[in-house]
Amino acid sequence: MKIEFEDLNWSEANEKKHEWDKLLIGSSFPNPFTSLPFYNAWIDTFINDTESIRCIFFYDDKKLIGIAPLWINDKNKIVSILGDKDLFDYRDIIINSEYESEIYSILFHSVLESKSYEGYKFIFESIPENSKLLDFVGTSDLNDLEINTTEEDVTPNINLPTNWEDYLISLKKKQRHEVRRKLRKFESENFTSQIITDKSQLDEFKSQFFDLFVKSREDKEEFLTPDRKSFFTKLLLNFANESQLRILCLYDNSELISACIVFDYNETYFLYNNAYSLMYNSFSVGLISKIYAIKESIEKNKTNFNFLRGDERYKYHLGGEEFKIYTVEIN
């Protein structure tokens, strides 16, 4: 085995979308945050100059086996994985699982420890707990570099059963009763639901969603800057174009009262964002839209439902189990 690598700019990396997609789907933890549709929405919104992006492609013969999408901050002498933790729930090197130890060894010893990065600090945020990067930095000799790994957050996840009744049975008795009770109450009214998947539906939805979003919690209005609104708009369009977008909407007549934005990626539904009207709290519309999303994921034969970043209690009440993400700093 002779592993080689090449250094590509962002434009060159985008030309290899088919290879990138195939590698990511076949990796040990395929997720939307390391996909080109996600990266491109972020870069198109926030990055004026892509010169600081370095994509290292690893090959065994001509077979693509790894991609390291890196952000090089020469001013502050920091190397990180492309993205930011405000908008990316996971970040990692994309690797064919058969080559993980070899690629990490080459990345650190042949690339990051080269003279080009002498004196740089490496900060890898939002690394999922099942990433082999954590094993590598925990067991490898990195030339006496100081390594600090800290727990950053949790992203609760449900390992889904094959049918709805088995899901309900898996919940604690009190929570099972609450889910059934709240569904009965909601469905006794004349509310309606809709699943948005097509880009032609997005213009009307996004204006309603953004309005609902800023009203649902005080800090969300501060979070939704014009740039982030632009990012979300591009993101929804990109994933709709990939047929990987599911938006679970609840309505009172034509008024949007709750919505969950979900990425349908590989075998998992990823709940990326949500908003609901406080005027309908008595009908638990925020929770109901999430329950509908879980139910649909089971009907679509998905294996996991991922609530993503945050330890809100409802995630555990609905069956979520702890899945941690970490920050790794190397000096």
Per-residue pLDDT reduced to its tens digit, 66-110: 999 999 999 999 999 999 999 999 999 999 999 998 999 899 888
Q: Give the whole-angstrom CA distance, residue 245 versus residue 124.
A: 28
With 70 as the cut, is the pLDDT of residue 257 above it? yes
pTM, rounded to two decimals:
0.95
Q: State the Cα–Cα distance between residues 178 and 28, nearest whole angstrom.
A: 35
Instruction: Give the model's confidence band at 215: pLDDT under 50 very low, under 70 low, under 90 confident, else very high.
Output: confident
DSSP letter string, 109-137: IIIITSGGGTT-EEEEEEEETT-HHHHHH
CA 226 to chain centre: 21
Rounded mean pLDDT, 47-68:
95
- Please state the rounded mean pLDDT for residues 221-228: 91
Name the residue among 103, 97, 85 with its Cα closest to residue 150. Answer: 85
Answer yes or no: are the C-beta atoms of 125 and 71 closer than 8 Å.
no
Rounded to 10°, the helix 285-299/173-187 angle is 100
Other Cβ atoms less than 10 A from the Cβ of 64: the count is: 17
What letter represents residue 276's amino acid?
Y
Strands (E) in 40-156, as ranges, are 53-60, 63-73, 78-81, 94-95, 121-128, 147-154
Residue pair 330/137 in contact by the 8 Å Cβ criterion: yes
Domains and CATH numbers, the chain: 3-152 (3.40.630.30), 157-306 (3.40.630.30)
DSSP-derived secondary structure letter, 68: E
Bridge partner residues of 112 (DSSP): none
